[in-house]
Amino acid sequence: MPLKNQPFPARLGFALRGLGQALRTERSLQLQALAGLLVLLALVRLNPSPGWWALVGLASAGVIAAELLNTSIERLADHLHPELHPGIRAVKDCAAAAVLMAVLGALWVAAALALEILKRH
């Protein structure tokens, strides 16, 4: 079977397998997933408008996606070039910075939501 253009169920299986593998092995992703669960519980409790649900969902998904990409880049870089190398370090640092930026964006959304909730009360 060719590696490209697999049927959707196969591609979904690949994605779920990757997510499961990363969740089992990556402490950062485990923490991000826990934070996402806490955010979901907070949304249920605070009951914001659907727009806030969408913004928080997108921000949370962005953080998880960035963390998964960071994990992928780190694993590939370590496999291809296991010894320390300045170029590989720069790639891995940039990937980590992408996660940081996603987290800061999510925190921005959280702060705006908190201000909105405070205005209601």
pLDDT of 63-115, one tens digit each? 999 999 999 999 999 999 999 899 999 999 999 999 999 999 999 999 999 99
Helices (H), the chain: 8-25, 27-46, 50-80, 86-120
Where is pLDDT greater, at 4 or 25? 25
Chain centroid offset of residue 51 CA: 20
Helix (H, G, I), strand (E, B) or coil at 19: helix
- pLDDT of 4 reads 84
Q: How far is CA 55 from CA 37, 74, 84, 119, in A?
A: 15, 28, 39, 18
By percentage, how much of the chain surpasses pLDDT 90?
93
State the fold for domain 27-120.
Helix Hairpins (1.10.287)
Whether 26 shows a pLDDT value over 80: the answer reads yes
Global pTM? 0.90
